[in-house]
Each structure stands twice: as C-alpha cells, then as structure tokens.
Amino acid sequence: MHGEPQTRELDETPDDAAGEVLTATPEPAEAAPKSRDLGPLRMVFRTAMQYPREIAFALGALLITSAATLAIPWRFKVIVDEAFGGSATADDIAHAFQYLLMIVVILGIGTALRFYYVSWLGERVVADIRLKVQQNLLRLSPGFYEVNSPKEISSRMTSDTAIIENVVGTTASVALRNSLTAIGGIGMLFYLAPSLTMGLLIGIPLVIAPIVFFGRKIRAVSRSSQDRIADVGAYVTEVLSAMKIVQSFGQQQREGERFASVVEDTFATARRRIMLRAAMTSVVIVLVFGGVVLVMWRGALAVTEGVISGGTITAFVLVGGLVAGALGSLTEVYGDLLRGAGAASRLAELLEAKPDIAPPRPARTPARTGPRQPVFPQCDLPLSGPPRSGGPARLHA
C-alpha cells in the first residue's frame, strides 16, 4: 500500500471504435528505476530554463560576487606591499582601504541580488513541477490509486518538492559560486606563485577520489531515506483516518508499536546517510586543508629567502583558503545534489505514469470533392388560419 508508483509497459492495440487502448502491467515497487547519477535533475533544470531572464540576472550576480570575493585578497596584497611600507603616506593608506571598502559594498549588493533571483527561481520551479505532476495525476485511472497510496503521492508532492526547491534555490547557487571561486582562485594562485600552486594541484586527485567513492553510496541511501520518510507520512494518515476502527478493536498499542518500527527504520536509514556524509566531509577536509598547510609552509620559507614578497604570500594564503573552502563546500553540495536527484526521480515517476486508456483519436471526416449545396424537396405544408381560395399555400424552396 505504501509502495512507489508502478512502472508501466505500454502495448498498443488498434481499435476503431475506442481509439488507442494502453494496457498497463504493474511491476513490483522494487523494480522502479533508481538514479545512478545526477541525470534526474535534468527535468528540474529544463523547467528552470523557461525563465532565461531570471537565470541571466542570477548568473550575473554570481559572477560579480565571485569576482569581488577574489578581489579582496588582491587588495590585501597591495595594502601589505604599499600601504604598510615604511614610505607609505596617509593618502596611500586611505586610497588602498577606500578601494577595499568599495569592493565590500559591491560584494554585499551582488549577494543580495544573487539570493533574490536564485530563491525566486527555486520557488517558481517547484510551483511548475507541482502543477505538471497534478495535471498528469488527474489523467490517470482510478486503478492507479488503488495500487499506489494517495497518501504517499501527496508526500512526494510536499517533501520531494521541498528538496528540489532547496537544490534550485540554494544548492545550485552555492555550487556555481564555489566553482567560479575555485577556478578564479586557482588562476590567481598561478599568477602569484606558480611553483606553490603546482603543489596544490597535485593533491586534487586525492580530493576527487573520496568524493566519487562516497557519492555513489550516498546516492543510494538518500533515495532510501526519502522512501522511509514518505512511509511515515502515509502511515500516520492511514491510521488517523481509521481511528474509530483502531479504537473499536483496541489496537492502539499494536499500531503504536508498528509506527515505532517505521520511525526506527527511517532513523536507521538517515543515520547511514549521515555517517557516509560525515566520513566524506572529514576525509576531504583533511586532504584539502592538509595540502594547503604544507604549501603555506613552503611559501613561508620562500618569503624568508626573498623569493616572494610579504603581500604576495598574504594574498596566496587568503586565496588558498578561499579555494580550499570552495572545494570543501563542493563535497557537501554534491551530497545535496545527489539527494535532489533521488527526489527528482521519484517525481519523474509520477510525471511519466501513463493512463490505462488513452483519449480516443479524433474522427476523420471524408474529404470534399467540390462545393455542396443543400437540396430541399418541394413540400406542401398547410399554413395555420383559414384556408385561402385555391387550396393550401405551397412553400417552394
């Protein structure tokens, strides 16, 4: 009763009277296709592409905020090398900090615009997906709702769409911002100290490997966790709607124990997902920041040798921290995207469900060979009233 919407095999049967008939063969819930990658999110982003203007504004705000974030360490380099030098005047110091303050103001405005447009897109996409799912549900036959619990379907319309809203309104924005920051930061690191940057890039494969390993496991557990959450909502609705029967037969304790079992299963699944994400985050953070510390160590030695300036190593440390934070945040973002992919695949099952009987084909009218004029035969109809002389009047068409 709490299973997932069944996948259907469609067999076409020609019928002149009823049109096209589709026979649906239900399969077990376990046979439902599970997402093995981020492919199910294509449905979400296709819906978002219907609003190109808002996407353009959001991307513009993302570029502004990423550029302003990377401009702050560069200004610190200038401040350390020039404003804090022994020959710096008060005007030089004021000029350096005025530019830094201007960058901070731009960063604040860009962040506000980014938050507004990505949040708007998230809410709009969720609303459109809910409308599409509801329109498709109205087409399905009553037998579909006998096989699939309407309570679970309503749970998918609420909990799964909330996850998608988080993906579009927050996760995608964070992923793009961190990606731009990481790419721009690596380019700036090469400009500041190429030899030190090469040491950072050598450790990138060590960071990617655990992301791929843990990502596959988190993807499967995330979908299972969403299924268990839907089971809780469906079970509560079912029991409360039949409370008279439960109390009439004195089954309160039994139903309480069954509900406790469902809740514990949900918690156990969520705990597995949390442990996997915690392990992935821990490993990635140790690898990323450990590599940064080793590179900074080498940079400090270069400063003492006079190879690079104090402002350069200051900017390198700040940019390296931004890049490490961006890469570390991408690990959590990837986990959220996998969770969103599981929710999108569950909603896609409702969107792709086909009715047992398709609407009939429109009747074909024979083609006319030429203009046809109505023909009325001659008829004799008596008119009301006294008859006139000469017999009843004739109507001639």
Res 251: pLDDT: 87
Q: Is the pLDDT of residue 212 over 80?
A: no
Confidence of residue 63 (pLDDT cuts 50, 70, 90): very high
Over residues 69-86, the pLDDT tens digits come to 999 998 888 888 877 766
Is the per-residue pLDDT at 33 higher than 60?
no
pLDDT at 15: 41
pLDDT for the residue 104: 93
Task: Report whether CATH 1.20.1560.10 matches the domain 11-352.
Answer: yes
* Mean pLDDT for the stretch of residues 123-136: 90
Q: Per this entry, what is the length of the chain?
A: 397
Per-residue pLDDT for 392 more than 70?
Answer: no
- For residues 169, 172, 177 and 180, what is the CA-based torsion angle, rounded to 10 degrees? -150
Say if residues 192 and 330 touch (Cβ distance below 8 Å): no
Average pLDDT over residues 208-218: 78
Q: Residue 55 is which amino acid?
A: I
Residue that wins the pLDDT comparison between 391 and 250 = 250
Q: Cα–Cα distance between 271 and 31 in angstroms, integer?
A: 25
Pull the structure tokens for residue 368: 């006319």
Instruction: Give the pLDDT of residue 375.
Output: 56
> In Å, how far from its chain's centre is CA 370?
57
Any idea which of 285-294, 313-322, 338-347 has the lowest mean pLDDT? 285-294
Distance CA(304)–CA(396), nearest Å, equals: 118
Which among 197, 173, 170, 202 has a CA at the least distance from the CA of 185?
A: 197
The SS3 assignment for 58 reads helix
Region label for 23, one of left (φ > 0), alpha (ψ between -120 and 50) or beta (otherwise): beta
- The more confident residue out of 208 and 181 is 181
Distance in angstroms (rounded) separating the CA atoms of residues 302 and 310: 10
Residue 371: the pLDDT is 59
Percent of the chain surpassing pLDDT 90? 13
Q: Which two tokens stand for residue 160?
A: 């799964």
Measured at the alpha carbon of residue 298, what is the angle toward residues 293 and 302, in degrees to the nearest 5?
140
Beta strands 11-15 and 19-23 are antiparallel
Q: Is the pLDDT of residue 30 over 50?
A: no
Q: What is the model's pLDDT at position 25? A: 34
The 3-state DSSP class for residue 4 equals: coil
Q: What is the pLDDT of residue 328?
A: 72
**By percentage, how much of the chain surpasses pLDDT 70?**
78
> Could you tell me the pLDDT band of residue 327, with boundaries at 50, 70 and 90?
confident
Residue 102 sits at φ, ψ, to 5 deg, of -65, -40
Task: State the pLDDT at residue 64.
Answer: 93
Q: Return the pLDDT at 67.
A: 92
Predicted pLDDT of residue 393: 37
Q: What is the pLDDT of residue 68?
A: 92
Helical axes 310-352 vs 52-78, angle rounded to 10°: 160
- pLDDT band for position 335 (cuts 50, 70, 90): confident
Q: Which pLDDT belongs to residue 225?
A: 83
Q: What is the pLDDT of residue 358?
A: 65
CB 323 within 8 A of CB 181: yes
**What is residue 19's three-state secondary structure?**
strand
Which of the pair, 180 or 288, is modelled with greater confidence? 180
Q: Sign of torsion, CA 109 328 339 209?
A: positive
> If you ran DSSP here, which 8-state letter would residue 13 be given?
E
Which three-class secondary structure state does DSSP give residue 64? helix
Please state the rounded mean pLDDT for residues 218-223: 79
Number of helices followed by number of strands (H, E) in the chain:
12, 2
Residue whose tokens read 């990502």: 215
Q: Which residues contact 234 (CB under 8 A, 6 or more apart)?
A: 1, 2, 149, 151, 152, 155
Residue that wins the pLDDT comparison between 272 and 303: 272
Instruction: Pick 178 or 18 by higher pLDDT.
Output: 178
Instruction: Specify whether the CB–CB gap between 61 and 114 falls below 8 A.
Output: yes
Report whether pLDDT(306) > 90: no
